[in-house]
Chains A and B, each alone.
Chain A
Amino acid sequence: MNTLFEYTIRLADDSLILGHRMSEWCGHGPILEEDIALTNIALDLVGQATSFLAYAGETEGKKRDADALAFLRFDREYKNALLVEQPNGDFGMTMMRQFLFDAFRKPLFERLQHSSDKQLAAIAEKSLKETKYHLKHSSEWVIRLGDGTEESNGRIQDALNTLWRYTPDLFYADEVDQEMQQQGIAPDMAAVYADWNATVQHVFQEATIEIPSNNWKQTGGRKGLHSEHMGHILAELQYMQRAYPNMEW
């Protein structure tokens, strides 16, 4: 197995699939300003996915470019975390998903920007700027909704109850991570987790919501074992490339 390819694909697919989900909001946001903000996040994520996928293709050396990797893999070859493929739900669900993800991505990129792999370091550095803005936005919304009305508090708490089980998948680390870490390419996941944990504890306290006591865990994304939602995402994402193969657009 090409470990660097595998590691990069995981980074790429988180951005690709969450970007896809966020783009579903376009035209349907709860306020016009928020429609623009959600689309911005989608755009940033699609941009990150493009950079990571292009680099993954290079490291693979099989002449697959970013588009070939984005649109023409089979289901089990996508390695995003389960969290990012979860449906948008209401605006609270979307913001909670985004927050849990941003709080993970920020400490990850802060470290990855010092990676011994210059290309990954450069993509992480650029993506970090965007991620900081995303985290500010999503954490503000989690707090606003948590400490807003009784209804909004209930909804954002429900969102956390639903999504909490998918958070361990973000920190899933196997031989790929170990090898990358030994080479100074990937950061230590335990350190990323510690930062993430501090952020979520702090924000949930401000939002007056609670981490569910049920610690049921769902993992499998990094091994390509996805929820039922993934196939539907891919059906849309890949539609044109599958229906009209080998064409330029």
Chain B
Amino acid sequence: MKDFDTAELERKFQEKIDKDIKIEPKDWMPDDYRQTLIRQISQHAHSEIVGMLPEGNWITRAPNLRRKAVLLAKVQDEAGHGLYLYSATETLGADREQTIDDLHSGKAKYSSIFNYPTVSWADMGAIGWLVDGAAIMNQVPLCRCSYGPYARAMVRVCKEESFHQRQGFEIMMQLAGGTPEQKAMAQDALNRFWWPSLMMFGPNDAESKHTAQSVKWKIKRHTNDELRQQFVDVTVPQAEMIGLTIPDKDLKFNAETGKYSYGEIDWTEFWEVVKGNGPCNKERVDARRKAKENGEWVREAANAFAQKRALKKSA
């Protein structure tokens, strides 16, 4: 049983949300709201950081200087996104170190799309176009999220994500209009990344545990299936425009609704990858853990040095 005070606080809290007044770090908030946000924002942060790895894999092999510089800048942006988002979790009282350890222990999740390997240059195009494209669908509504620091971080992040999406599409367009080898490379990348991109929106609404409460709290504004549909409707014509084929024999345009209907997602694959059984789950987490372990002595040195200098100053 909630006591009267808590019930009253919750009522006022929900009233603020209903009036679109932002919740700020020092404001009272229900514990579930705080925990849900910490989970959601830290998952998002981890996705940005783990997401650096599949694209980082092609920086040293980028085909020309311009593409190399753009890819470097893009992956660097993702690190910046991770940094803002970890800071946003800290405003909710989460400890960054602990949050990161949860990623390394496998307790915390990140977007499953990054557990697929990048085997060709065209994957840089497919990731920018589809994965950053899907991220934008997910994140634009979050610019109006009820939690102030998250909403503000998202405004900044989304601007950069749309640059990422464009550079990816540009790579795909160049390949699709190029030699037969290049076009085949682009089609192959689309074939491999299409379904995992649709899975980025999460389980079907019927299966999704957290949706209703999150919608009420305005930390989610659309359901998974709504966002997925929006992504399909935007992306299919883009593929057609550059002459690539979406790998879905059930894909059909419905002139009445103006929407595409699409085939059944392989949910077995989805849950396997979430559980940790995707092609690169182990490599991705190992790479992050290794970066942390290899950096241990550096961080220790930096702390020791800072202490020594502080002592010198006070002496």
Contact = CB atoms under 8 A, between A and B. Distances in A.
B69 A43 contact: yes
Interface stretch (B10-18, B51-59, B214-222, B248-256): B51-59
Leading 9 A-B pairs by shortest Cβ distance: A30-B295, A148-B301, A152-B301, A240-B63, A27-B56, A27-B52, A249-B63, A30-B298, A39-B76
Contacts of B82: 32
Interface in B295-315: 295-302, 304-305, 308
Given A39-B76, A152-B301, A66 B65 contact: yes
A176 B154 CA distance: 53
Interface residues of B, number: 48
Interface string A22-52: 0110111111111110011011001101100
A31 B179 CA distance: 41
Given A67-B64, A236-B61, A42 B72 contact: yes
Contacts of A248: 174, 178
Contacts of A247: 63, 178-179, 181-182
Contacts of B64: 67, 70-71, 241, 249
A143 B67 CA distance: 35
B72 A148 contact: no
Contacts of A144: 301-302, 305
B65 A70 contact: yes
A244 interface: yes
Interface residues of A, number: 48
Given A26-B56, A43-B69, A149-B297, A240 B61 contact: yes
Given A147-B308, A240-B63, 6 more contacts: A26-B72, A31-B299, A46-B72, A47-B69, A145-B301, A249-B175
Contacts of B105: none
B268 interface: no
Contacts, number: 139
A33 B76 CA distance: 10
B301 A151 contact: yes
B60 A237 contact: yes
A23 B299 contact: no
A132 interface: no
Interface in B40-78: 49, 52-53, 56, 59-69, 72-73, 75-76
Contact of B297 (A47, A49, A155): A155
A28 to B, nearest CB: 5
Interface in B170-194: 171, 174-175, 178-179, 181-182
A91 interface: yes
Nearest to B58: A240
Given A149-B304, A247-B179, A36 B79 contact: yes
A36 B79 CA distance: 7
Contacts of B121: 240, 249
